């Protein structure tokens, strides 16, 4: 993330979640083309057992609406650094990556109502997305995004109400309160970051009683991909 975003996390003690329709993937939160013709086996069993009438068009319209009420925070699952990820998600050398664990990230939202978290699956449009949860389509992306190896957390703006009042002009994101010290294992600064930037981040952590170490990226350069 860019340095100013990290400073916002520390100073405001809150993690930012972006509204799903504001993310770059145009298919974010949408059902696949194949959902118009096929259903998943689990959904078919549910429909048969409960005599549910499956209206594909209504379900697709509901998914499109839900995109305006789902707010997402994204993480990269990897034990190694990725030059392409630095390039894709950091606009300047004054950037960094937070190293954490799934358990620690999950703890941020476990007291909330109306949330979902998990790995993103990378599948073509020929694979139907899960129908049994409004969150389901948000955990599937096209294989062209595979390098992201994403773990994401999704929240609703207002507890368990899936359609809480959202101002489409102003509510491009929401901030979820969290203790930064509870999620930060360490901080890795951009391969091209200056020593001044690294020292500023170290001081910011010290000032806020956060013990996680600050290290320079092990990559020697970030290539244009």
- Percent with pLDDT over 70 in the chain: 96
> Is 125 inside any structural domain?
yes
Banded pLDDT at 184 (limits 50, 70, 90): very high
Reported as a single tens digit per residue, the pLDDT across 108-143 is 998 888 899 999 999 999 999 999 899 999 999 999
Reported as a single tens digit per residue, the pLDDT across 58-96 is 999 999 999 999 999 999 999 888 889 999 999 899 999
Smallest CA-to-CA distance from 153 within 122, 184, 125, 118 is with 118
Query: Pairing state of beta strands 186-189 and 213-216?
Result: parallel
> Is 38 inside any structural domain?
yes
State CA 153 to chain mean position distance: 5
Torsion of CA 90, 140, 187, 110, to 10 degrees: 130
Q: What is the spatial distance between Cα 3 and Cα 6, in angstroms, rounded to a whole number?
A: 5
Q: What is the spatial distance between Cα 128 and Cα 66, in angstroms, rounded to a whole number?
A: 18
**What values do phi and psi take at 7, rounded to 5?**
-65, -35
CB atoms within 10 A of CB 12: 13
Banded pLDDT at 159 (limits 50, 70, 90): low
For residue 182, what pLDDT is reported?
94
Question: Is residue 209 over pLDDT 80?
Answer: yes
> Is 223 inside any structural domain?
no
- Is the pTM of the predicted complex or chain greater than 0.75? yes
> What does the DSSP 8-state code read for residue 118?
E
Reported as a single tens digit per residue, the pLDDT across 26-65 is 999 999 999 999 989 888 888 888 887 888 899 999 999 9
For residue 112, what pLDDT is reported?
87
> Is 222 inside any structural domain?
no
Query: Pairing state of beta strands 115-119 and 150-156?
Result: antiparallel
Question: Is residue 223 over pLDDT 50?
Answer: no
Q: What is the spatial distance between Cα 71 and Cα 115, in angstroms, rounded to a whole number?
A: 9
3-state helix, strand, coil in the chain (%, to 5): 35, 20, 45
Structural domains in the chain (count): 1
State mean pLDDT over 8-14: 96
> Is 62 inside any structural domain?
yes
For residue 221, what pLDDT is reported?
47
> Is 221 inside any structural domain?
no
State CA 189 to chain mean position distance: 20
Q: Which domain holds residue 137?
A: 3-216
> Is 29 inside any structural domain?
yes
- DSSP symbols for 15-31: EEEEEGGGSS-TTTTPP
For residue 31, what pLDDT is reported?
96
- DSSP symbols for 141-171: E-GGGGGG-EEEEEEESSTT-TT----TTT-
> Is 224 inside any structural domain?
no
> What does the DSSP 8-state code read for residue 128?
P
């Amino acid at each position: 993330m860019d340095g100013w975003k990290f400073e916002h996390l520390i100073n405001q003690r809150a993690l930012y979640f972006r509204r799903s329709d504001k993310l770059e993937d145009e298919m974010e939160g949408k059902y696949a083309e194949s959902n118009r013709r096929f259903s998943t086996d689990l959904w078919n069993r549910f429909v048969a057992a409960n005599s549910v009438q499956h209206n594909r068009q209504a379900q697709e319209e509901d998914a499109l609406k839900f995109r305006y009420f789902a707010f997402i925070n994204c993480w990269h699952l990897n034990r190694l650094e990725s030059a392409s990820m630095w390039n894709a998600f950091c606009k300047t050398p004054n950037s960094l990556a937070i190293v954490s664990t799934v358990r620690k990230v999950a703890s941020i939202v476990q007291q909330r109502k109306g949330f979902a978290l998990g790995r993103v699956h990378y599948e073509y449009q020929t694979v139907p997305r899960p129908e049994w949860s409004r969150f389901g389509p948000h955990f599937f992306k096209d294989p062209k995004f595979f390098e992201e190896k994403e773990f994401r957390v999704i929240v609703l703006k207002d507890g368990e109400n899936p359609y809480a009042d959202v101002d489409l002009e102003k509510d491009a994101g929401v901030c979820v309160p969290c203790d930064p010290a509870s999620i930060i294992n360490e901080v890795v600064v951009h391969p091209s970051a200056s020593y001044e930037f690294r020292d500023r981040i170290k001081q910011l952590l010290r000032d806020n009683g956060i013990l996680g170490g600050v290290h320079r990226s092990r990559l020697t350069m970030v290539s244009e991909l």
